[in-house]
Amino acid sequence: MSQTLVTVDGVPLKVSLARAQRRGKLKAIGLVVPLFLFILVTFFVPILDMLFRSVENQLVGEVMHRTVPLLNNWDEQSGELPSEEVFAALAEDFIEANETKLGGRVGRRLNYEKPGFSGLFRKTTRKAGSLEAPYQQSFIDINQKWGDVENWKIFKRESAPYTISYYLAAVDLGYGETGEIVRNKDDRRIYLKLFWRTVWMSSLITVICLFLAYPIAYLLSALPTRKSNLLIILVLLPFWTSLLVRTTAWIALLQQEGVINDLIVWLGFVADDNRLSMIHNRTGTIIAMVHILLPFMVLPLYSVMKTIPPSYMKAAKSLGATPFTAFVRIYMPNTVAGIGAGAILVFILSIGYYITPALVGGQSGTLISNFIAFHMSSSLNWGLAAALGAILLAIVLILYFLYDRIVGIDNMKLG
Amino acid sequence: MSNAKPLVRFVDIQKSYDGEILVVKNLNLDVAEGEFLTMLGPSGSGKTTCLMMLAGFEPATHGEIYLKDQSINNVAPHKRGIGMVFQNYALFPHMTVAENLAFPLEVRKMDKSEREQRVKRALDMVQLGPFGDRRPSQLSGGQQQRVAVARSLVFDPDLVLMDEPLGALDKNLREQMQYEIKHIHENLGLTVVYVTHDQSEALTMSNRIAVFDDGIIQQCAPPEVLYEQPANAFCANFIGENNRLFGKVIEDFGDSVKVKIDQGGEVHAKKVNVGGVGERSTLSLRPERVVVAPEEGSLPNEFSAKAEELIYLGDHIRTRFTVCGHDDFIVKIPNSAAHASLQEGDTVKIGWNMEDCRALDPSD
């Protein structure tokens, strides 16, 4: 029995089997490859690039390639300026930067750490031609700031090829006088507050969605298929309308001179000079986002409820449970998979939501994603934007992990 | 058993879902204490609706249902204290078997030690003692069925309803479960109302069978009465195998009639449910009551028949004859040493007794 099995023509059975199955395997791979490549290029590569950008800091070292290695020998704790040799190298770097036009970018990068660097570097680059020995004095003549040891400390710190300063900034931390990590001053702390606001507003939106969607999904699942299909279309109807149109429609409805305010003033609930402000604030964001995200809660709940046989409730009642007990003890536990799927879907969507808060959020309703967009397109601080995005990603992954631990990801049913 | 006082009484029950069609038409039925009553009928005959009205999941459109002489029309299902076994068991998938069984006790606020004791007793009753910690999905169909039965009994209800509980099981298991349920019924002295469309199941298990058709109870009788003395053409045809001959009454002898078959021949039959001379009638005759090649003159009804088809079934040979113009006349010939050996196409004499052929109402 120990001899290997062979086919009729003497080929080992395993080889023959592998050959017979190879075609099928190749076909399967061929079917998957296009989507895999697409996902790789459009999803994983950008995410990895973003994660890289949040710590990447090559620019300073590259442009100031003569100065930066020499700065390593400078003891920033001594309280003295770097040596003349460093200033000479700096002069050469600035002359080169004047030609490559990169001096301004380095200045902008250092400006994130301390305002003033941008102007300093622009001016110095412009006047690079007039630099001459002794270079230290020549630099200080161009701008006093070259004589400040603090500025040199920042320069040295941010010349390393990788930095955590974007992450520090993203959680409202910074460097103190002696280089230790401290919290920013009160008036400059914004991101932690924003993260917190994003999380609790997303939670609130998720909870509201759940409370609104549960009865609807229950009704849909209890109706005969013909009727429930019609109602499902009504639930899906918002998907067929542009997101922008729906959001702006909310502006028309909710604004101070809008339909709803007109109505309640006309009904006499509110005085004309005391109209409710329901848009361009938190309320507006929550109302509009609940409306937009509601279908994502209804559908998973519906698909789970549809699979719960009506006989469960009947059985519970026949066993002596009141309708309420039967619902809480029997029906609800069987919908946990749908609640979990809907909640995680709505929460993850809302935690990264951008358009709606940007349009109707105003000051108090903007979320972290709006600041990411701001740093991407207006302030051009991509490193900070990437760090904020990476933290958001981490929050989502942690929640996903917790969900898996508590509910089990295998139990999730999306439809 | 029919003399015991009724536990359940349906009085003039009518039920309509849409206000146009009566699903149950004027139902009157008593279920005696300790009785195993089966509601049998084709789908759409109203039997499940009756059960749901008794359980409280459907309101009666008209009439009263009494449980122990109390009208329960306005009593909510959970207050009726009626055990129920559902078609697909309806075991709660998020609970273990023991938790499923403990559920009715928990909602009755029974204390923990008593609860555990009862659950154990109920599990032992259905021979599932070691399975208390399993989930329902980890059990086979038959085991799930047993759990469902145990759960419906664990809170000691006076009455247990079963809605086609064995429909999802395969044939062997179904037969085994039939005996198990029957034994539980006998041992505990339960009152059971059982719904099925399977006549052999009904015959095996019941004290009495109520045959439903078209929202009406066609006959309510013990199995042997139902089989041997069907009250009308529907029951005769629905329960067991049945040969039908159609004709017109030409002579009335009081307790028997002479019926002229449409395609020729006259049959002397027992008068059961038929009008006088000139009325149409359906004659009903069980296949096993037909004698092949009888002694000449020994039977009142003798006809020549042509064997069309023979099917060998081991214990008997199922033979299809053409008799009196009907080519679907089935006779079961027992496979005994002395049985007549027939070939397809042979013509033989067949006959039957007057009592075995029942003259019933004209059906369609």
ipTM: 0.80
| Cα→Cα distances B247→A184, A284, B242, B283, B350, Å | 106, 83, 16, 8, 19
Nearest neighbour of B107 by CB, restricted to A314, A315, A319: A319
Q: What residues of chain A lie within 8 A of the CB of B88, using their CB? A: 309, 311
pLDDT of residue B17 exceeding 50: yes
Alpha helices in A164-281 (DSSP H): 165-170, 191-222, 225-236, 243-254, 259-267
Phi, psi of B139 (to 5 degrees): -105, 155
**pLDDT of res. A27:** 92
CB contact under 8 A, B93 and A309: no
The CATH architecture of the domain made up of B241-360 is Beta Barrel (2.40)
Contact across the interface for A311 and B86, Cβ inside 8 Å: yes
What is residue B4's predicted lDDT score, i.e. its pLDDT? 61
CB-closest option in A309, A321, A323 to B88: A309
- What's the rounded mean pLDDT across residues B61-79? 88
Query: pLDDT tens, A236-283?
Result: 887 888 888 888 888 888 888 888 889 999 898 888 888 888 888 898
Of A312, A318, A336, the CB nearest to B55: A318
Asked if residue B87 has pLDDT above 80, the reply is yes
Tell me: pLDDT of B312 over 80. yes
CA dihedral A204, A208, A214, A220 (to 10 degrees): -130
CA A42 to chain centroid: 16
Contact A329 B90 (CB under 8 A): no
Of A252, A257, A236, nearest in space to A288 by CA:
A252
Lowest mean pLDDT among A171-180, B14-23, B336-345: B336-345
Q: What is the mean pLDDT of residues B145-156?
A: 89
B205-230 tens-digit pLDDT: 899 999 988 888 888 889 888 888 88
- A 10 A CB-CB count for A351 gives 22
Looking at the predicted structure, is the pLDDT value of residue B3 above 70? no
> Are the beta carbons of B77 and A317 separated by less than 8 Å?
yes
Tokens of A404: 């898996």
**What is the per-residue pLDDT across A40-49, written as a single tens digit (0 to 9) for each?**
999 999 999 9
Nearest to B254, CA basis, from B267, B272, B239: B272
A4-59 confidence digits (pLDDT tens): 788 788 888 888 888 888 988 999 999 999 999 999 999 999 999 999 999 999 88
pLDDT of residue A388: 93
CB B233 within 8 A of CB B245: no
- Residue B180: exposure state from Cβ atoms within 10 A (0-12, 13-18, ≥19): middle
Class of domain B6-233 (CATH, top level): alpha beta
3-class DSSP assignment, residue A244: helix
Give which of A312, A319, A334, A411 to mutate to test B binding, by max B Cβ within 10 Å.
Answer: A319
> Which has the closest alpha carbon to A250: A294, A287, A208?
A287
pLDDT band at B1 (very low <50, low <70, confident <90, very high): very low
Q: Shortest CB distance from B86 goes to which of A315, A320, A329?
A: A315
pLDDT of residue A31: 95
User: Domain residue spans in chain B?
Assistant: 6-233, 241-360
Q: Give the pLDDT confidence of A363-375 residue by residue, as tens digits.
A: 888 899 999 999 9
Nearest CA-CA partner of A369 in A382, A384, A385: A385
What tens digit of pLDDT does each residue of B225-281 get?
888 888 888 888 888 888 888 888 888 887 888 888 887 778 888 888 777 777 888
Superfamily of domain A191-411: MetI-like (1.10.3720.10)
Q: Does A202 have pLDDT greater than 90?
A: yes
**pLDDT higher than threshold 60 for residue A1:** no
Evaluate whether A305 touches A283 at the Cβ level (below 8 Å). Answer: no
At residue A135 the predicted structure's pLDDT band, cuts being 50, 70 and 90, is confident
The whole-number average pLDDT for the span B325-353 is 79
Asked whether the beta carbons of residue A318 and residue B92 sit closer than 8 angstroms, the reply is no
- DSSP letter at A44? I
**Cβ-Cβ contacts under 8 Å, A322 against chain B:** 78, 107
Cα separation values, A310 from A40, A316, A331, Å: 44, 10, 9
- How many Cα atoms sit within 13 Å of A265 on the Cβ side? 16
- Residue spans of the domains in chain A: they are 1-53, 58-163, 191-411
